[in-house]
Amino acid sequence: MKVEQIFKLMNTVTGEVLGKSDLIAEDLSNVVDVGTEIFAADAVDNYVKSLVNHIGKVIFVNRPYSGIAPSVMRDGWEYGSVLEKLTVSKLPEAEENESWELTNGKSYDPNIFYKPEVSTKFFNKRVTFDIPMSFTKDQVKESFSNAEQLNSFISMIYTAIDKSMTVKTDGLILRTIDSLIGDTLHSEFPDATYSAGSGVRAVNLLKLYNDKFSSTLTPAQAITNPEFIRFSAYIMGLYQRRMTGISTLYNVGGTDKFTPTDRLHTVLLADFAAAAGVYLYDGNGQFKTENIQLPKAEIVPYWQGSGKKFDFADTSKIDTTTGSGNKVTASGILGVMFDHEALGVANLAKDVDAYYNGKARFWNNFYHYTAGYWVDLNENGVVFFVA
């Protein structure tokens, strides 16, 4: 074991803590142990210099990961593959109530067939992948002190596999939402001129705010501007209520749809939601806070990825080809509202196949994942962004 004398550092630390000296540059390379992958040459005792240090305690980093993706999981089915979705595509038209227009001698024919207009959508795609992992027992026994440590080691590997699965499925769920966002943006801005205006389904909150208040806020400034955040809360709250009324405006397909509040999913970007928590409320108590809260929502740290710096330009961006084949690159996306039936993950199947190699005495486990990710553009979906 390497033992370092640090009395000089401790004297300077004491001076800094007591306020007797200015802050100085400190070298902690000999103080903080960042660990090594294998034993170094100094892993021997400090007496005879030849006794190898023994391991006194083993810590297994075995932390389950619950994921970050919004809750859009649906039920599954054992037989068959197709998800069939039936919808009355058009509301029946009204006709004259002839009971109030009776004419002597006129014939009134009740034998007319009125066919309902029903549309059918079929969803028949799956995505799948495997995670392989090999396990041994006898070969790693020599590295542990008892069966309990060996079992903890194996359990740690299982947890790592589960975390890997969660990370990958989170990414697929977010990309399903990204596809809805992309198609919604493309439906109102097919030329990708997002900063030029605002649509009904793709709402440019910054454009609306700047036009209304003759402001010149930029996207980067907007998400920490209290007035802009209050305005955004107002617009989002309006949409929550407007979407409860039946309309053709809030879905790409232009179908007659409404979304009750208990069937509405709202997902907000963490950059925007966190800024709202700090900047939204007035410190002087001028506002009734319950009236200016953002909609209740699930929060995601990014739509597609964090980038290397977790900058807003990266977290708020999607760069994707949607399920409809539209290539969309856009940033400044703050949130999305969609109907429970607008997208989902269905028929999730997770199972494991194991194979034992008797010659080399190890097990190969193959963790299979299959699911169907779907988006229905005939259901309500609204995107809020700044550009």
Residue 69 inside a domain? The answer is no
Same domain assignment for residues 31 and 135 = no
pLDDT > 80? residue 75: no
What is the structure's pLDDT at 64?
A: 74
Total count of domains within the chain: 2
Give the other-Cβ count within 10 Å of 229's Cβ: 25
Segment among 125-129, 169-173, 183-187, 199-203 with least mean pLDDT: 125-129
Query: Which residues, in sequence order, are CB contacts of 111 under 8 Å at separation 6+?
Result: none
% of the chain exceeding 90 in pLDDT = 36
Beta strands in 90-141 (DSSP E): 118-123, 127-135
Most confident of 6-20, 44-58, 163-177, 272-286: 163-177
Tokens, residue 263 = 């069937």
d(CA 71, CA 303): 14
In terms of average pLDDT, the best of 6-15, 90-99, 124-133, 188-197 is 188-197
- Same domain flag for 49 and 169: no
47 and 166 housed in the same domain: no
C-beta neighbour count of 153 within 10 angstroms: 15
**Interacting residues of 15 by C-beta distance below 8 A, sequence separation 6+:** 21
240 and 379: one domain?
yes
Residue 220 lies in a domain: yes
User: For 84-88, 281-285, 291-295, 356-360, which range has the lowest pLDDT when averaged over its residues?
Assistant: 281-285
In the numeric block, the tokens 């009750």 are attached to 260
Domain identity same for 15 and 131: no
Q: CA–CA distance from 146 to each of 149, 191, 358 (Å)?
A: 6, 65, 24
Q: Could you tell me if residue 93 is inside a domain?
A: no
Q: Are residues 244 and 349 in the same domain?
A: yes
Going by pLDDT thresholds of 50, 70 and 90, the confidence category of residue 17 is low
Residues 14 and 132 in one domain: no
Is residue 50 located within the same domain as residue 131?
no
Please identify which residue in the block is written with the tokens 């593959």: 81
Best-predicted range by mean pLDDT (37-51, 70-84, 212-226) = 212-226
Same-domain status, 15 and 132: no
Select the highest-mean-pLDDT range: 164-168, 279-283, 308-312: 308-312
CA 327 to centroid of chain Cα atoms: 20
Report if residue 191 sits inside a domain: yes
User: What residue numbers bound the domain in which 246 lies?
Assistant: 127-139+161-385
**Mean pLDDT along residues 210-226:** 94
Q: Residue 355 is encoded by which pair of tokens?
A: 């194979």
**According to the model, what pLDDT value does residue 212 have?**
96
Nearest to 185 by CA among 379, 341, 336, 342: 336
* Residue predicted with more confidence, 334 or 2: 334
Residue 81 lies in a domain: no
What local confidence, expressed as pLDDT, does residue 31 receive? 61
Q: What is the pLDDT of residues 257-277, one digit of tens each?
A: 999 999 999 999 999 999 888
Mean pLDDT of 90-105: 79
Longest dimension (CA), the chain: 124
Between CA 318 and CA 174 the distance in angstroms is: 10
CA distance 284 to 144: 61
Beta-bridged to residue 343, according to DSSP, are 375
- On whether both 133 and 34 belong to a single domain, the answer is no
Coil, strand or helix at 179: helix
Whether residue 14 is predicted with pLDDT greater than 80 in this model: the reply is no
Alpha-carbon span 116 to 96, nearest angstrom: 18
Question: Is the model's pLDDT at 291 over the cut of 60?
Answer: no
Give 180-198 pLDDT, tens digit per residue.
Answer: 999 999 999 999 999 999 9
What's the CA gap between 345 and 362, in Å, rounded?
35
Statement: residue 94 has pLDDT above 70: yes
* Residue 335: predicted pLDDT: 96
Residues 6+ positions from 372 with CB-CB distance below 8 Å: 83, 123, 125, 126, 127, 345, 346, 347
| 72 or 156, which is more confident | 156
Which has the minimum average pLDDT: 164-173, 262-271, 302-311? 164-173
Q: Can you tell me whether residue 385 is helix, strand or coil?
A: strand
In this prediction, residue 251 carries a pLDDT of 94
Question: What distance in Å separates the CA atoms of residue 222 and residue 334, rounded to the nearest whole number?
Answer: 11
Q: Which of 367, 369, 370 is nearest to 132 (CA)?
A: 367
Collapse the DSSP code of 178 into the 3-class scheme (helix H, G, I; strand E, B; otherwise coil) and give the result.
helix
Contacts of 175 (CB under 8 A, 6+ apart): 304, 320, 373
Q: Is the pLDDT of residue 144 over 70?
A: yes
Strand blocks (E) in the chain: 83-88, 118-123, 127-135, 202-204, 264-269, 298-300, 318-321, 327-330, 333-339, 343-357, 362-375, 381-385
Helix ranges (DSSP H) in 189-279? 205-213, 219-222, 226-242, 270-279
- 64 located within any domain: no
Domain boundary among 20, 38, 54: 54
